[in-house]
Structure 1
Amino acid sequence: MIRVADIRGYAMALPDVVEQPHFRLPGFRVADKLLVHLEKGDAHAILCVGQVEAKTAATEQPEVYEEVWRQNGQIFVGLRVDLAKVTKKRMQELIELAWRHRAPKRLVAEYDSR
């Protein structure tokens, strides 16, 4: 099972990520944009990946992933991940994907050039 410490380690390894609570729960941001946050109970995390990535993951493994929408399906939020069912490698990949989705393009370019 993925724990908060795992998520923290994956997120904080990426450039300019800061930990900042999201509704009093652990959350991580880049350029003041939410990247990933835990839900109450620490059993699920929400990742701010793109809509296409979320739909693909939820379609391929609905027992692990779920698309998250607000306001009756009007606003796409991200991808809910069951932390007991996702692998550490996949969680790390998803956090980087969310970071790439939310980070400024110049920061991503700098990271890729290293």
Structure 2
Amino acid sequence: MLNKIMMTGRITTDLTVVTEDNYSYCKFCIAVDKQKQNSIDTIETDTFTCIAFDDNAKSVSFLYSKGGIITFVGSLRKAPDKSVVIIVEKLHFQNRFAVKVDVDSGQLF
């Protein structure tokens, strides 16, 4: 069975990495525009809850911020409360994005 999804959307929440036991995660929401209908002027959006773990969580919180556009490949999972979340598996970068520098190590991202 195949369970893959590619999403591009605007981040609607603040990004914070949470560390519990031996793993870390970053839970955030994205707003994805629906396709515009021919006779309708307004664009509607769908909101999705996403979770990135470990290195992906650190990368998401470091490279992106609320209001930024993110593109990633992930998979759908059912949460304990019967809602659906998207697990971020691979980040995709557009040709244009702001380069950030890790102040502690001097590493460019």
Structures share fold, TM-score greater than 0.5: no
TM-score by length of 1: 0.22
Q: 1 or 2, which has the higher strand percentage?
A: 2
Larger of the two Rg values belongs to structure: 2
TM-score by length of 2: 0.23
